[in-house]
A and B are shown apart, each in its own frame.
Chain A
Amino acid sequence: MRIEEDLSCAELVELVTEYFEGGLPDRDRERFEEHIVFCSGCENYLDQMRTTIDVVGSLTEDDLAPAVADELLAAFRGWKAGQ
């Protein structure tokens, strides 16, 4: 992603994931971080994205039904015996 000298808020919001992933080239990362220091709107946006990721991450995972685990174990024993 190429960034002009002055990074606008509209541009910055599209770079947030790349920033989190550590994918921005050094120079662009510096511009991004400089912008955040002076722009509370973007700082807040960044916080919203972080919080969103955390909340999404707290959606619960279903557990495998115990019956499946038992069948798998039986399959494992069968596999072992046939090796």
Chain B
Amino acid sequence: MTTETKIEAEPYESSAEDRRIVAALREGDERTFVELVDRLGPSMLRVALLFVRTRAVAEEVVQDAWLGVLSGIGRFEGRSSLKTWIFRILTNTAKTRSEREGRSVPFSSLAGDDDEAGGPTVDADRFQADDHRWANHWTSSPRRFDALPESKLLSAETMGIVQRAVQLLPEAQRVVLTMRDIAGFGSEEVCEALGLTEVNQRVLLHRARAKVRAALEGYFEGESA
């Protein structure tokens, strides 16, 4: 549940927790390593799956990334959070792997690739025409989703609609939405990991969310009609 606003402009100062983990890893503390793998592993797998085709390959990517983390931990300088650093290794590993599989084009080129780069994210016919007294205001008000019962909102069918909407997103939007809203990364971490500018990242996220919203609205409206 990540609706809170995040402002991350402060220069990075490594947290005491990160320093503790790094020191423990360098000393070869197994428990720290296992805890870190447990904590970050699921998100890493999810992100890896954005770059490679199969789950088996994604698991290999995650594993290779951890090996990269171990071989690099001695040189980790704490200029970013440990998590950001680990995910940069992960996305680099995943990108290399997907290029080797001949699947992928560089992410930065995908980001500019969306057909609808500048178009509106809500259908123009939802708003009054330019010559209308209430030009560009809603023709009919959207209905609140939070008035729906939770059983409906989180039903298997609704989740299916959402899942499909996410799958249908252009790749760059899907990757950004997944990292931000499912895996729970901050904007700075996503920009770092994917080599995107702040504005780029936000536009992709906005377009992605708006499309999933439209899919949900269409589904709920169809139900109540």
Among A18, A21, A79, the most chain B Cβ lie within 10 Å of the Cβ of A21
Residues of B within 8 A of A14 (CB): 120-121, 206
Residues of A within 8 A of B55 (CB): 62
- Chain A interface size, under 10 / 10 to 19 / 20 to 34 / 35 or more: 35 or more
**When each residue 32-60 of chain A gets 1 if its CB lies under 8 Å from chain B and 0 otherwise, what string results?**
00000001111011011111111111110
**Interface residue from A11, A69, A79 paired with B37 (Cβ < 8 Å):** A69
Residues of A within 8 A of B23 (CB): none
Number of interface residues of B (CB under 8 A): 64
Please report the C-alpha to C-alpha distance between residue A8 and residue B139 in the assembled complex, in whole angstroms.
12
Residues of A within 8 A of B66 (CB): 72, 75
Do the beta carbons of B137 and A64 come within 8 Å of each other?
Answer: no
Please report the C-alpha to C-alpha distance between residue A61 and residue B145 in the assembled complex, in whole angstroms.
24
Residues of A within 8 A of B1 (CB): 53-54, 57
Do the beta carbons of A22 and B5 come within 8 Å of each other?
Answer: yes
Residues of A within 8 A of B38 (CB): 69
Residues of B within 8 A of A73 (CB): 30, 33-34
Do the beta carbons of A41 and B138 come within 8 Å of each other?
Answer: yes
3 A-B pairs with least C-beta separation: A8-B136, A41-B138, A22-B5
Task: Provide 26 A-B residue pairs closer than 8 Å at the C-beta atoms, listed in order of the A residue.
Answer: A8-B127, A13-B210, A22-B6, A23-B202, A41-B138, A44-B144, A45-B122, A47-B144, A49-B213, A50-B3, A51-B216, A52-B216, A53-B181, A55-B154, A56-B166, A56-B181, A57-B1, A57-B2, A57-B181, A57-B184, A59-B182, A63-B42, A64-B37, A76-B70, A79-B67, A80-B28
